[in-house]
Structure 1
Amino acid sequence: MKKINILSASLAILVFASLNVSAQIKLSDIFKKVTEKQGTNTAATGTPSTFEIGQGIKEALQIGVSAGADRLSLKDGFLGNLAVKILMPPEAQKVERTLRGIGLNKLCDNVIVSLNRAAEDAATEAKPIFISAIKQMTLTDATNILLGNKDAATEYFKRVTTSQLMQKFSPIVTTSLNKVNATKYYSDLTTQYNRLPLVKPVNTNLTEYVTQKAIDGLFVEVAKEELKIRGNLSSRSTTLLQKVFGYADKKKI
């Protein structure tokens, strides 16, 4: 009898323990699923803190400006992009038409290609300048960009980087124009034109012209990336970006 009682007690303990473990496992699973669901719902929603806004804007802009600058610094980054392709300076477009009219197409093409190659060289130096501007951005700047116009970030970059870009790009463009023979080609082109009777001589500061056009092209690409992040949900590649720009979407409704 004693043995039977001991055996019964042991079985009871084992059954209870088994049930208890099973209950713990089930409760644990339920808790885990609820926690994960809550985490998923809240991580990318709600009102972001000022710090999160700052970090989110900086993350988004770093992705955008890096992509834009990288594209333009590739071969044909300017030449193959109709939105930023550098054409003849305005005062030289009549020259181009005249020279093409007398069969000097190759000379004109050489000038255009070389101008764009110079801009592509200069674009390689843009990213560090933009990244520096992002790092120096205040929380107020970040909030104004997030809740501002669709080009608020681009306008911010224009305001704080244009002077630095001009200083950095100018010597690079000068070197590149010489390297790709742009100066020579353009000199040949204007010389040919200026020899024609009754024409007004044309003179252009190529370095200044190409530098400005290169910077304009950069801002075109930055604006494109800014619109993508603001309007394309799939471009919000992290939880932080989803939360910050989701909040901005709600504020603008």
Structure 2
Amino acid sequence: MKKIFIPTLLTLVLPLLFSCSSILSGYRLNENDAAAAVRQLLQLGASESSLAGSFSKDAIMTTIFPEPVKKVLTTLNTLGLTSEVDRFTTTLSMAAEKTAAASVPVFTRSINNMKFNDAMRIIKSGGTSATDYLRTSAGDSLRRSITPIMQAALDEYKLNAQWEQLIKPVKGIAGNRLNLDMANLMAGLVSEAMFRKMAEKEIEVRNNASARTTTLLQKVFSRNWS
């Protein structure tokens, strides 16, 4: 009975295996699949963006203070303001992380609404070309959309009052070089951090088969189309 069963099973299974292999080997990339795969790739990167610890003191200081003002603050630190600066940047980092988490739906909506001039080119170009396309086509609008989320986090952590206290000693020195729109500045920092994480995920999907979690990603990114 066993001798009869095994050949019969192979007779049924082998044609299916060869059929699946034939379908995959005969697949031809098209513009619709390319556009859908790029959207899936970017959505995956946005949804998995864990930015805990991404907003260091140095990153925050570089974002909100121009170089001349940073030098003044360094001098003020020697006068006993180190703890105030550290407390402010630590709290601002927490607000940035919260803003990044709340911004995932904003990125997802933008990705869903993306229009492509040449999705095939994005697939074939490799690297971080999908992320770069999103940054170029929607970076400014995404930053503007994130700004009110950032402002809400600033209000929640009462950072505006801390900000005013912190910059009081340097206002006279900084003059109009100090940009007081902290919500907009920090929204830019958050959006760039999101893009970096998405770029990392894009490289992973392009280079690592286990990162291709859908049939479409497997079909489109399992071979070199260039």
**Cα pair distance change 1:42/1:241, threshold 3 Å:** farther
* Unaligned ranges ≥5, structure 1: 1-17
* Unaligned ranges ≥5, structure 2: none
Q: What's the CA shift for 1:174?
A: 1.8
Q: What's the CA shift for 1:173?
A: 1.6
**Cα pair distance change 1:191/1:230, threshold 3 Å:** same
Question: TM-score, with normalisation over the residues of structure 1?
Answer: 0.72
**Which whole-Å CA distance do the structure 1 matches of 2:15 and 2:38 have between them?**
28
2:185 to 205, 209, 221: 209
1:1-253 residue pairs with structure 2 within 5 A?
25-26=5-6, 28-39=8-19, 41-42=21-22, 44-50=24-30, 51-68=32-49, 71-72=50-51, 76-79=52-55, 85-88=59-62, 89-91=64-66, 92-137=69-114, 141-194=118-171, 199-201=173-175, 203-205=178-180, 206-247=182-223, 249=224, 251-252=225-226
CA contact 1:64–1:226 (8 Å) conserved in 2: yes
Question: TM-score, with normalisation over the residues of structure 2?
Answer: 0.80
**Cα pair distance change 1:241/1:192, threshold 3 Å:** same
Q: What's the CA shift for 1:67?
A: 0.7
Q: How many residues align?
A: 220
Q: What's the CA shift for 1:216?
A: 1.3
Q: What's the CA shift for 1:133?
A: 3.2
**Which whole-Å CA distance do the structure 1 matches of 2:108 and 2:155 have between them?**
29
**Cα pair distance change 1:129/1:98, threshold 3 Å:** same
State the AA in 2 paired with 1:178.
Answer: D
CA contact 2:106–2:146 (8 Å) conserved in 1: no
**Which whole-Å CA distance do the structure 2 matches of 1:170 and 1:237 have between them?**
32
Between 1:144-153 and 1:220-229, the stretch displaced more is 144-153
Query: Larger C-alpha radius of gyration, 1 or 2?
Result: 1
Kindly provide the CA deviation profile for residues 21-44 of structure 1, in whole angstroms up to 9, marking residues without a partner as x. Answer: x86x45531223313432553465
Q: What's the CA shift for 1:97?
A: 0.8
